[in-house]
Amino acid sequence: MSASIRAINDFVVKFANVNGSGSASANEMFARSLLRMGVPVASRNIFPSNIQGLPTWYEVRVSGQGWLGRRGGVDLMVAMNPQTWDKDVASVDPGGYLFYDSSRPIPQSKFRGDINVIRMPLTEICNAAYSDPRQRQLFKNIIYIGALTELLGIDIAVLETLIGEQYKSKQALIAPNHQALHMGHDYARDNLSGQCGLRVEKSDAVRDRIFVNGNEAAALGCVYGGATVAAWYPITPSTSVAESFAKHCKKYRVDPVTGKNRFAIIQAEDEISAIGAVVGAGWNGARAFTATSGPGISLMQEFLGLAYFADIPIVLIDVQRGGPSTGMPTRTQQADLVLAAYASHGDTKHVMLFPQDPKELFEFAAQAFDLAERLQTPIFVMEDLDIGMNEWLCEPFTWNDERKYDRGKIMTAEDLDAGKSFGRYLDVDGDAIPYRTLPGVHPSKGAYFTRGSSHDKMAKYTEEGDAYQEVMQRLLRKFETAKSYVPVPVIKQAKEKTRFGAIYFGSTAPAMNEAMAALEEQGLYLDTLRIRAFPFADLVTDFINQHDQIFLVEQNRDAQMRMLLVNECGIDPARFISVLNYDGTPITARFINQAIAERMTMKSREAAE
Amino acid sequence: MTYILKPKLRHPALPVNKLGFTHRDYEGTVSTLCAGCGHDSISSAIIQACFELAIEPHRVAKLSGIGCSSKTPTYFLGQSHGFNSVHGRMPSVLTGANMANKDLIYMGVSGDGDTASIGLGQFVHCVRRGVNMVYICENNGVYGLTKGQFSATADRGSKSKGGASNMDTALDLASMALLVGASFVGRSFSGDKEQMVPLIMAAIRHPGPCFIDIVSPCVAFNNHAGSTKAYDFVRAHNEAVNRLDIMEPRDPITVEYAPGTTEEAALHDGSTLRLAKLDANYDPNDRIMAMAYLQATAARGELVTGLIYMDKTATDLHANLNTVDAPLNTLVEKDLCPGNKALEAFNASHR
């Protein structure tokens, strides 16, 4: 038997449940109770593409220090699903704890000798207290949460408050839930005392941070960014972006006098139609977006080429999931990079933004509309299931009320009357961004024909090679212009000078932060750069050139960011060492730490020899 | 096909409409379609309809997909913004454009390949969503630009130019439009401008999803014996059920019909639509009957033309979505952005 793990405010609890058993809301309440005690948590749902019956897990990282990525490993397993018992038992760290429903006997061979077992006859307790089968199932979840409050030292009053808030509109449910909570708590107090070495202590480390999921943040960003038209098709894990947009529009965008809507949302018949409507609305001067995932982006390719070639502003929120094909709809990846970067046949390049958490996602989603109209091109906001569908602890959202939307270069009727000459694809200002007019602008000036067929700078159909090339070259220059508008990378210098660098992006950030701190403790120093946008700022190339070796941490199989960096920045592929996690679960700090430590030690040894 | 540029000069005595526009103000560039193409007659009917209604040309947005028919929006309303989009996807682009600005007139021009094959899904869903538009399908039963393949509206048993028989069942777009909720359905023939012009005018004035199927022979690939979309065949089998007139409020009545054979309907701009019934039993306000009638006449080998159906109580997508009166593309920060105070409340509810 390994020494029992003893930890205060620094451990991982994992709940193994059956999908559809009502465990999700109980488990989330558990996570929230720690936040209310001022202890930072990061919670992640690992759920199946299923409504009822398949295995689902909920992992809660408790970190007084504020590490919000997945750490890796499990200190306390709440094993409520017999289907996954073996795997769940195997995943507990030596010296960790296994809490399970001991109502039915489980053979000794199914346990491990190096972990602590906490037995609670949950089904028996439930069956004795409740006769209704649904109640038995639902309250079982609350009973084990009650037991955990006692085992971990969570203030039960906090959970009582949370239950009260949850059932604000169903008062009748509060008392029975409180009762179940206490049933679990009292059993643990009387029978399980001293069996768990993990403790929660009150802290003030949460500060004023908020607990929010990325899809809601993205939707709110679209509201704040002035989106009026949304067209979408249901697809996991992006559906809640559109649903949340509708929810917030109903709250913030209904004219108080007339009761009419300052927004229009359609659920399209497929992703092709969704992006088509967004292209039509963007062409016609509305801020428009769609939310989708990889399979949707695959279907939208033809329209993306049109929007690129015809300079039409649109925004896409891509909530990436495991691919290819249907892939893993309920698992996370960063595997749409190449698909989005060069979407469509022919020569195209598209702008992408990589938010690290819901806070940045809120900001980037709003900013995407400014970028789309400024650059007159599609903007991809590349989030993923990890950010999108999990509640993240992040800084509160803020908005500057003085902020004006950047509507880009739109020529008005007054401009046209004042004698400004209009040619749709003329590069008047030398930044390769042309002026556009909106349909209906003027009785006799400013009309033009938008087309995906080859056109000259006056928007006229042409099959002349030179005229076509002129337009294609301008688009390339415009992509260069985009560099000066998109968010710049975030660079952190190591405490000591180092020839090693690490590059990462998106939802990898929190695990990366923890891994870097751990590596530093081992005396391994790396400068880091977090990419926030494509096209890459020149700073990215500089950073790579300043280091002999760059660890490139990604959540896909083929090192897609590496492909883009090699291709776009002309970098020798040998400079990169890829650290790749693509099993569908969010990358862990331990995984990054281990991969980089091994390689750095090896490289240092090679250098020494 | 002609390469001659249109002269800029205009005859001083050209008639003007009540806005002072001449017919020429509604034209586009010179057509590059084949001489005798039915599509050019349809463009000409659109120009005539807009002239007659005295529409400001720039208040029309014309959208199309890909194909011969989809090229035509360049040949009419040169002062309007146009959008030649993606094959079969005009309906979605038009839907989004309409969502952005409810104040323009949306004219979608498509062909039978664009509408009945690759774009069938978008056509159906755009109509059932109730988008306020005039959707014209220039239907010739054949793929012209790729030189003569059957389209999905080619009748079973009809022959290609090379002599092959089409063994697939034809899709009837007018029936389909009725089935999925078009509130205005017409059918016409590109050789009958007198019928096309008032149909298009009525459709422009109709505040809902309008679909007009216009049989438009392809002189290059589908105008031979054995084709049911050839000029001769259509002329021989065309059965008009009614004749339309659009009368402005003070227009004198110039054509007299026998009592009981006409029906009038007020249009929402104050003009009147007068319908002369050629088939006394046909009631274009009865959707169920219209569907049965199309099936029965098709079984007899007749091509029914005229106003097939009109719902006098039609509404549109914006009514369904309850959008504000101002076009969405005119809203600004104060209309759209809830501001920092609302955000603070949001933050507080997420702690």
A56-60, A583-587, B158-162, B246-250, range with the lowest pLDDT: B246-250
- State the pLDDT at residue B3: 53
pLDDT at residue A451 in the model: 97
B86 part of contact set with chain A, CB < 8 Å? yes
A280–B57 CB contact, under 8 Å: no
With a CB cutoff of 8 Å and minimum separation 6, the contacts of A276 are: A231, A268, A303, B85, B86, B89, B91, B92, B93, B95, B96, B122
Q: CB B336 to CB A253 under 8 A?
A: yes
Measured CA to CA in angstroms, residue B66 lies from A309, A451, B71, B87, B110 at distances of 16, 10, 7, 4, 8
Determine the average pLDDT of the residues in A126-131: 94
**Average pLDDT score, chain A:** 97
Task: Kindly tell me if the per-residue pLDDT of A609 is higher than 80.
Answer: no
pLDDT at B252 over 60: no
B247 has pLDDT over 90: no
Provide CB contacts within 8 A for A256, sequence distance 6+: none
> Cβ of B264 under 8 Å from any chain A Cβ?
no
With contact defined as beta carbons under 8 Å apart, do A92 and A115 qualify? yes
Cβ-Cβ contacts under 8 Å, B328 against chain A: 228-229, 262-264, 286
Same domain for A388 and A292: yes
Q: What is the pLDDT of residues B209-234, one digit of tens each?
A: 999 999 999 999 999 999 999 999 99
Residues A149 and A106 in one domain: yes
> In terms of domains, do A233 and A102 share one?
no
Q: pLDDT at residue B271 above 90? A: no
Residues of B in contact with A35 (CB under 8 A): 351
Q: Is the pLDDT of residue B253 over 60?
A: no
| pLDDT, position B1 | 41
> Which of A345, A449, A450 has the most B C-beta neighbours within 10 Å, making it the best mutation to test the interface with B?
A449
- The nearest CA of chain A is from the CA of B1 a distance in Å of 16
Each residue's pLDDT tens digit, A411-451: 999 999 999 999 999 999 999 999 999 999 999 999 999 99
Does A329 share its domain with A260? Answer: yes
Q: Of B85, B122, B129, which is closest to A306 when you measure between CB atoms?
A: B85
Domain at A307, CATH number:
3.40.50.970
Q: Which of A34, A228, A275, A299 to mutate to test the interface with B (most CBs of B within 10 A)?
A: A228
Q: Is the pLDDT of residue B255 over 80?
A: no
A502 domain-assigned: yes
Chain B residues with CB under 8 Å of A269 CB are 121-122, 125
The span from the CA of B121 to the CA of A272, in Å, is 10
Read off the pLDDT of residues B183-193 as tens digits, 9 standing for 90 and up. 999 999 999 99
CB atoms A262 and B122 under 8 Å: no
The tens digit of pLDDT for each residue in A515-532 reads: 999 999 999 999 999 999
The CATH code of the domain that includes A87 is 3.40.920.10
Only one residue has tokens 């004198």, namely B252
Q: Is there a domain that residue A415 lies in?
A: no
Give per-residue pLDDT as tens, A33-48.
999 999 999 999 998 8
Q: Which residues pair with A261 in a beta bridge?
A: A254, B323
Summarised one tens digit per residue, pLDDT across range A311-324 is 999 999 999 999 99
Mean pLDDT of B26-41: 94
* Contact yes or no for B328 and A441 at CB 8 A: no
Residues A384 and A495 reside in one and the same domain: no
Contact predicate A553/A512, CB 8 Å: yes
Write out pLDDT tens, residues B103-131.
999 999 999 999 999 999 999 999 999 99
Please give the average per-residue pLDDT across A367-385, as a whole number. Answer: 98
Name the domain boundary from A359, A394, A429: A394
| A283 pLDDT more than 60 | yes
Other beta carbons within 10 Å of A38: 16
Both A361 and A221 in a single domain?
yes
Do B101 and A285 lie within an 8 Å CB cutoff?
yes
Residue A333 confidence (pLDDT) above 60: yes
- Strand-pairing partners, residue A563, are none
Residues A38 and A142 in one domain: yes
Collapsed DSSP state (helix, strand, coil) of residue A266: strand
Domain count, chain A: 3
Do both A89 and A14 map to the same domain?
Answer: yes
| CB-based contact B84 A450, cutoff 8 Å | yes
Measured distance CA(B301)–CA(B299) in Å, rounded: 5
Instruction: Give the helix/strand (H/E) hosting A42.
Output: strand A41-46
With beta carbons under 8 A apart, name residues in chain B contacting A255: 324
Of the options 3.40.250.10, 3.50.50.100, 3.40.50.970, 3.20.20.70, the CATH number for the domain spanning B23-317:
3.40.50.970
- Flag whether residue A404 sits within 8 Å of chain B, measured between CB atoms: yes
- Whether A401 maps to a domain, the answer reads no
Are A132 and A237 in the same domain? no
Domain definitions of chain B by residue range: 23-317
Q: What is the DSSP letter of B115?
A: I
B244 to chain A nearest CA, in Å? 29
Of A199, A227, A244, the residue that ends a domain is: A199
Pairwise CB contact (< 8 Å): B122 & A269: yes
Interface test with chain A among B50, B64, B83, by most A beta carbons within 10 Å = B83
SS (H, E, C) A131-163: CCHHHHHHHHHHHHHHHHHHHHCCCHHHHHHHH
- In B, which residues are within 8 Å of A33 by CB distance? none
User: CB-based contact (8 Å) between B254 and chain A?
Assistant: no
Q: Is residue A39 less than 8 Å (CB to CB) from chain B?
A: no
Q: Which of A220, A262, A401 sits opposite B336 (nearest CB)?
A: A262
Q: Is residue A423 part of a domain?
A: no
User: Which residues on A lie below 8 Å from B344 (Cβ)?
Assistant: 396
Decide: A287 and A369 in contact? Cβ < 8 Å. Answer: yes
Q: What is the pLDDT of residue B258?
A: 67
Q: Residue A164: pLDDT above 80?
A: yes
Quick: pLDDT tens for A186-198: 999 999 999 999 9
Mean pLDDT of A261-275: 98
Range of the domain at A194: 7-199
Same domain, A154 and A15: yes
What integer pLDDT is reported at residue B254 of this predicted model?
A: 57
Nearest 5°: phi and psi at B313?
-105, 20
Is A280 part of the contact surface with chain B (CB cutoff 8 Å)?
yes
**What tokens were used for A109?**
């061979």
Task: Spell out which residues of chain A touch residue B122, defining contact as CB-CB under 8 Å.
Answer: 269, 272-273, 276
Q: So what's the pLDDT on residue B131?
A: 98
Query: Do residues A551 and A503 lie in contact, with contact meaning Cβ atoms separated by under 8 Å?
Result: yes
Question: Looking at the predicted structure, is the pLDDT value of residue A139 above 60?
Answer: yes
Q: Which residues of B touch A439 (CB under 8 A)?
A: 61, 80-81, 97, 101, 104
Mean pLDDT of A470-495: 98
Find residues 305-364 of chain A whose CB sits inside 8 Å of chain B. Answer: 306
Q: Report the CATH number at residue A587.
A: 3.40.50.920
DSSP string, A360-416: HHHHHHHHHHHHHHHHTSEEEEEEEHHHHHSEEEEPPP---TT------SB--HHHH
**A171 in B contact zone (CB under 8 Å):** no
Whether residue A227 sits in one domain with residue A125: no
Cα A166 from chain centroid? Answer: 25
What ipTM, to 2 d.p.? 0.96
- What local confidence, expressed as pLDDT, does residue B248 receive? 74
**Would you call B323 and A261 a contact, using CB atoms and an 8 Å cutoff?**
yes
Residue where a domain stops, chosen among A199, A224, A254 = A199
* Residue A197 contacts residue A76 (beta carbons within 8 Å): no
CB of B206 less than 8 A from some CB of A: no
B350 touches chain A (CB under 8 A): yes
| A294 shares a domain with A236 | yes
**pLDDT per position as a tens digit, A489-517:** 999 999 999 999 999 999 999 999 999 99
Q: Is B17 on the interface with A (CB under 8 A)?
A: no
On chain B, the residues whose CB falls within 8 A of the CB of A437 are 81
* Cβ-contact A101, A123 below 8 angstroms: yes
Residue window 291-330, chain B: list those with CB within 8 Å of chain A: 317-318, 321-325, 328-329
In chain B, what residues touch A284 (CB-CB under 8 Å)? 61, 96-97, 100-101, 104, 329
Q: Torsions phi, psi of B144, nearest 5?
A: -80, -50
